[in-house]
Amino acid sequence: MKRYLILEDGTIFPGTGFGAPIISTGEIVFNTGMSGYQETITDQSYNGQIIAFTYPLIGNYGVNRDDFESIKPTCKGVVVHETPRLANNWRMNMSLNDFLKQKKIPGIAGIDTRALTRRLRDKGTMKASIVDAADDHAFDQLKALVLPKNQVQQVSTAKPYPSPANGRNIVVIDFGLKHSILRELSKRDCNITVLPYNTTAEEILSLDPDGVMLTNGPGDPEDVPEAIEMIKGIQGKVPIFGICLGHQLFALANGAKTYKMKFGHRGFNHPVREVATKRIDFTSQNHGYAVDADSIDPQNLLITHVEINDQTVEGLRHRQYPTFSVQFHPDAAPGPHDAAHLFDEFIDMIDDFNRRQK
């Protein structure tokens, strides 16, 4: 089925439709991962976005039951150069085409993804649509689209829920969490309680947690002011670990500023240097906003990690409180597991804090 990818700057890419045969509009971004498309598509940080994969062949090992990062993916579309005629893998349950149909997500193949990525790198992320006809009406609809400001609200859990175990009590604030964060905490026998994004500091502290995890999520961190106030209310009283959006919210709660990046970091091959040790980790990343290094108060926050390619702030630690954060995904789903040790550092921080309190 002939379909078109149209961009708000007037560019038209003809292709062949797969997945759900529906019209969809959102912000288009590119991901540089060679594999891990299932984890990417089901990552709630892509809420409202059309994902263009730079690797030329996507879908060759199908979709399995184990690698979901959310139950209901909320991305708006998938753009690829080529999908396979036949997918095969011993863990495979269905093809990517069938999965996208099931989840009502449109896909388009046959796209010159190199040209598309070059355009996004030159002009920045922009609005796009997957449509049946690239006519004036389609472009008028695209230009009229207003990107939502309540993206975290759209993907966060509405009610608290537990993931019981016998270890340390960890409160996880869901801004659009990846299941892999829960997996890493479960590996360490943590007794987890997942709470909505707008939970207050008082409600969190009433649960007497050993630690608080601030998860990843979509959109502009400044659109979640209630979370910023919550962080101000709990830091210093309980150890905190922030990831991705949680990192940005932690920075805002301590007086720093954030900005929208031209095309963001989305992939599984981003080199990050730990400032203190010079250690370099290759990391999984997915973010369109970053912390402004010049806005950080060095009396409060210490920059712990820096992205090698563009010097983006990739990690922070509070100088007085047991709190740290990273912009990348140490849960690494998908991606290198270089930074998984940060979950162990979080556990060690909790134990040290508890010993000091006693």
150 is in an annotated binding site: no
Closest by Cα among 231, 232, 229, 200 to 215: 231
Token pair 């150890």 is found at 239
Q: Give the separation between CA 284 and CA 88, rounded to whole angstroms.
A: 25
CA angle 102–107–109, rounded 5-degree value: 140
Token pair 């999965």 is found at 99
Calculate the dihedral angle through the C-alpha atoms of 211, 284, 28, 48, rounding to the nearest 10 degrees: -30
Q: Please write down the HEC assignment for all residues of 281-311.
A: EEEEEEEEEEECHHHCCCCCEEEEEEECCCC
246 is in an annotated binding site: no
Task: Check the CA dihedral 100-282-124-118 and report its sign.
Answer: negative
24 is in an annotated binding site: no
182 is in an annotated binding site: no
Task: Quickly count: other Cβ atoms within 10 Å of residue 76's Cβ.
Answer: 22
107 is in an annotated binding site: no
120 is in an annotated binding site: no
Q: Give the separation between CA 354 and CA 275, rounded to whole angstroms.
A: 27
Residues marked active site are found at: 244, 329, 331
217 is in an annotated binding site: yes
Q: N- to C-terminal Cα distance for the chain?
A: 67
77 is in an annotated binding site: no
Binding residues for L-glutamine: 45, 217, 219, 245, 248, 286, 288-289
Binding residues: 45, 217, 219, 245, 248, 286, 288-289
